[in-house]
Structure 1
């Protein structure tokens, strides 16, 4: 009989390292926690610097209120915080941090140094920690505020260290995070350095300037600036017009009460509102700031504080979807929501002598807006706005901060397509599976192997029969309806769609060149340049060899800009913007020789170049087409 094991009380160092597993996943997690502390300290200027992707050093300095000398040791203690005092404060959290475990967790898995000075002190003080072990407090001249240096991250937890990505990938994660933090805290001046090089800078002049600093003027020119404030819900931000879509979700930012969040309710509402206007692999661009009473939002869901719960998700979904739909649909109600219109979108033009309802909207016809599509029990009968009493604003106004952090990829890579060889191996494996051997008799195994061999023989005979039929002499009867080729083969009549046949021939020729690495390239007279964010740039760099294999030469220029110098001759006249936007969201590019985006473009090119239905072919053209099809009569058009 097993004896019970004693229950041990873990040391502070051990449980801090356990907590660090949830709070500190990678360098970006450290930057996020330190940045949020700086914002909560009332900083107007924050400087962030990383070295070697944050693996060697992370430095965050602010000009906030600072930390008093006697509080420095408490800053490294678990569940010690200046943000809340009792459980009642959790019902209406107005700060970004509140759990009191981030700094203790960071210090337990790194070497950490804090230098701080308050306005009332003549000199600053420094306290260091190595793996959670504190040094003595020493005096140090420093500016008012706090500077935190974190180095040798995970030096004492090698198991965690080996799960980190490359320095370049970690740098991309931090850069993407800083971009979101700048958008989140648009009234705070931010400088961000990578290996001593200034990478991003915002001057704290508001959200519009923050958007310009991160995405450039192009984003502002293609976005609606919106503001909606009713029934205790304030919704502000920027919505990309229907033509300003992106290839992935990293250009989507949702902020609730000054906190960047990953919330399915907001994401689904926005995606569904854009759905009538976007096609496959197209994602809307938006920055949404939502302010509600803190008491109707639970932010104490996860230690990373990026997940929240609304007291009533239905109201939030309805407001977000309806506001975006009104703006995109161009309804009369949109006039009360839109602050500034995009310069490059299709919008109604209002004249002085016509009401908005009579203005002609040119371009894609809009679906007639009907509020009944969204009507829910939360709606007041007296006005056509969503309403719930729990969202009514309290007398005490909420001073919401800006959002936080960067949206991660939530796109799951598709399963790798099986080749014929993979299917064959899988079928053999099915018969030699260890579990099957244990549960089936030897006779059953031999029987199944015999059935499999017989199946292979039947397939072989079928293939030989098809080959014999293909090699049979045939006679060209002619062309029907200028669309179908009619062939006589023995006692059979074969009809071939001339367009589909030629399209298949052209497509197979490219596939053969791709397989044999003989893709014909065309060098561009003027390189095509496009800009990618940090995560996209990292992906493109990793895929450089894959691009070259399919005939695409891409060179990095700097600051996330890439030059496309050459393309396969089949793709010379495509829309480059759409093609590379699609590539950035095509997960199959890493896993397949013929990625989905490239396959679609080649099929489109083959379709446009192929003989069309209705084309009258000469006898020589028919003979040439049939000769090329001799071994392909069993195949289909690449479109299926």
Structure 2
């Protein structure tokens, strides 16, 4: 049998390895920004065209590279960050693997211009698909500039599976936030298709967060700070007003490196347990500083996963720090041992009248009688004695009435499209389900899905007819948005007005709300709009191409009543009425069941 195992050419091996490191344009942005920071850059610019497909350019004013280093930087596993294996446990830089530039050069056309401060001229290196094209002297400023053009030009399958420009731009900005927040002492400029998205001067952490997340964050962030021998914790956590129904504004940084950590997220989430409604996710920007040797960041090529030496202890410290921060600002009750550190010593007060303590005695108390039964009996007897049995005949009033006299089933819910006759009496279970009797058994309705269905059909009808009622605000409300939110919302303003949401562009990243649908009564319109935007941005697609169905779906999700909301009999009655007036009351717009019927036969089988 002939030999069949062969070494792959470097160009093919590089493309395979690049699949782990460079998954989309945002991966290139992340690696180049981290390189600029490691080079000591204090002013960094990011220029993107066509969401990174055509161009990604990062320029810094850092240390620059020599002629030899500029060429060597594109070799796989070539790095200035570490020298030996032990260095992996004392990493102080963002990068260290020596894979990023080789991976980028394998799937794109790359031009590098760099110059050190003590050199008169710089160096330009050109590489395309791992193929070295040339190197020559060039006039340039001190620092480094990377131009990455035509990403995935030699791997059409990878390019084909990229999402829309809006989606890819969203991922690019996510990576930018993860770098810009911890390195708030660095100035950043971001351009997309010749439009300036961000111009962030060097500032404090809070100022950087507000510039990125919007002015509403300023009044709704709480500072936390905790120093221990194991870990130092600092940053900001959001008040309940900043919580959302979806993930997005949760940031952990370990030694200024963004990480994902589900276990530590639980430490934060549990601190909010009793102050946030079910399903709400708190916002936070938390920095953990630990000795480099106590963590392992060499787990995944993206370096967003880390292992801690003492994870459980850090969990406890983080949980306590978040609870302390919430308690200081009276968001939750807290035990503050330092606030009343002085010990109270009893002091004899002269000329004080001494009284015999009163003892409450219940002559009817029987220690062998069940407390619950005795309590009910005593309460009932007390009420009878207090009224001295006046108007005793009223005790029996109403017993002679028959159910038919009080009202029959036929008087309730006469909609022709009802599959079952409903009793008109409702029970709510755990703030989630509405239960009512029907002829064939019990009907169980998911209250949130039911409300979503009702709102979806209303919004969709309004978008089609363009005649949805709008309840005008007494005082128009200005809403400040992040740059990303603002650019995403603008193409949809006309469609939203058809749905009863009277929003108008105010310029400078702001919109003004003049009116909203009557269904929003009792809710904060600004919160509804932000949630709607957040949910819509999580989906794929261009905002200019978003159809009426998607707008209606996301509006319904954002404004429907949450699980846990207690409903009155009248509210449950009205919701059931409105549900069965819908075109399809059995299923939500995304195909989930809204209701089910437990038959009498099933109930009888369970109780045999």
- Whether TM exceeds 0.5 here: the answer is yes
Equivalent of residue 577 in structure 1, options 514, 521, 526: 526
Q: CA deviation at 1:126?
A: 0.4
- C-alpha contact 1:48 1:191 (8 A) present in aligned 2: yes
The residue that corresponds to 2:407 in the other structure is: 486
The residue correspondences of 1:17-96 to structure 2 (distance < 5 A) are 17-96=15-94
Change (3 A) 1:220 1:529: closer
The residue that corresponds to 1:521 in the other structure is: 469
The residue correspondences of 1:132-531 to structure 2 (distance < 5 A) are 132-330=130-328, 355=340, 486-487=407-408, 496-497=424-425, 520-522=468-470, 524=472, 528-531=477-480
Aligned partners of 2:506, 2:213: CA distance in 1, in Å? 17
CA deviations over 1:270-289 (Å, ceiling 9, x no partner): 11111221113422121111
Q: Secondary structure at the match of 2:14?
A: helix
- C-alpha contact 1:30 1:106 (8 A) present in aligned 2: yes
The residue that corresponds to 1:600 in the other structure is: 561
Q: Secondary structure at the match of 1:290?
A: strand
Q: CA deviation at 1:595?
A: 3.7
- C-alpha contact 1:485 1:496 (8 A) present in aligned 2: no
Aligned partners of 1:630, 1:221: CA distance in 2, in Å? 43
Identify which range, 520-529 or 46-55, moves more after superposition. Answer: 520-529
- C-alpha contact 1:112 1:148 (8 A) present in aligned 2: yes
Change (3 A) 1:495 1:310: closer
Aligned partners of 2:16, 2:45: CA distance in 1, in Å? 29
Change (3 A) 1:59 1:217: same
Change (3 A) 1:488 1:209: closer
Equivalent of residue 106 in structure 1, options 100, 104, 124: 104
Q: CA deviation at 1:599?
A: 4.0
Q: CA deviation at 1:228?
A: 1.3
Aligned partners of 1:605, 1:540: CA distance in 2, in Å? 33
Aligned partners of 2:138, 2:114: CA distance in 1, in Å? 9
Change (3 A) 1:104 1:520: same
- C-alpha contact 1:521 1:566 (8 A) present in aligned 2: no
Change (3 A) 1:357 1:516: farther
- C-alpha contact 1:486 1:494 (8 A) present in aligned 2: no
Length, aligned pairs only: 486
Change (3 A) 1:267 1:557: farther
CA deviations over 1:359-395 (Å, ceiling 9, x no partner): xxxxxxxxxxxxxxxxxxxxxxxxxxxxxxxxxxxxx
Q: CA deviation at 1:193?
A: 1.5
Aligned partners of 2:4, 2:578: CA distance in 1, in Å? 80
Q: CA deviation at 1:142?
A: 0.7
The residue that corresponds to 1:409 in the other structure is: none
Change (3 A) 1:569 1:235: closer
Aligned partners of 2:224, 2:564: CA distance in 1, in Å? 41
Q: Secondary structure at the match of 1:73?
A: helix
Aligned partners of 2:406, 2:563: CA distance in 1, in Å? 24
Identify which range, 220-229 or 150-159, moves more after superposition. Answer: 220-229
Show structure 1 runs of 5+ residues with no match. Answer: 331-340, 359-476, 614-626
Q: CA deviation at 1:42?
A: 1.2
Q: CA deviation at 1:201?
A: 2.5
Show structure 2 runs of 5+ residues with no match. Answer: 344-397, 412-420, 428-433, 437-446, 540-548, 587-593, 597-608
What TM-score, normalized by structure 2, do the two folds share? Answer: 0.68
Change (3 A) 1:531 1:165: farther
- C-alpha contact 2:107 2:153 (8 A) present in aligned 1: yes
